[in-house]
Structure 1
Amino acid sequence: MKETAYWTWFIIAGIIILVFAGLHMVVMHLSMLGVFNPEGGAVTDWGNVAFRSQHQFLAFTYIILLAAALYHGFYGLRTIVFELGPKKSFQDGFTVLLWIVGLILFGIGTYSAIAAKALETAL
């Protein structure tokens, strides 16, 4: 039963990635629309980056996308490794390692998104 719940979250994370990565592609790679790039030019120009960082919605979507991508990727890696048939003690240790690495990466990514928002507010 527990593995079914993990698998369900894996599928939900995949759907979230599909939606939010699609949003990211529209914002970053359809610059001709100009919705999130009012300065014109490249989407990575400082004026455009500063404009996008004013929107809490985008920071929120980056954090959700990060969480979904980390869970989806690490659960997929865990599943592949477990299919090789390692001992139960290795499985437990590997799961803990993935959780620790995932939480550290999530913390760094979340801090970066919040710091970018705070930096723009300070400027």
Structure 2
Amino acid sequence: MRYIKYAFLAIVAPALVAVAVANRDIVTLTLLPSGLAALAGMNQAIDLPLFVVIIAGVAAGLLIGFVWEWLREFRQRAESARKDREIKELKRQLRRLRAEKHAGEDEVLALLDEAS
């Protein structure tokens, strides 16, 4: 598994460097379109290399997707946790009932009785 991870990084790293070198021109990001900025009376802008904008967009998309999926799967995780609690409780009850059933018996006879 470790070698697969290194192979993946060996493929992705040069690709990211190639994107960065090919898109190093400076672009201006503005918060609002010019017409809306004139109405609002503010125009926030920042100058960044294009590859930073591209990589930040991909990272933001991944983050939003992970959060969306985590929220979507909440019901399944809650159901799984509920079933785990129920299984633990049933195992506890089973141990208690087995101990009560074989309370005064010999341990070897109790084991043979459980096996049959």
TM-score, structure 1 as length reference: 0.27
Q: Which has the higher strand share?
A: 2
Give the greater-gyration-radius structure (CA): 2
TM-score, structure 2 as length reference: 0.29
Q: Larger RCO: Structure 1 or Structure 2 (Cα < 8 Å, ≥ 6 residues apart)?
A: 1
Q: Which has the higher helix share?
A: 1
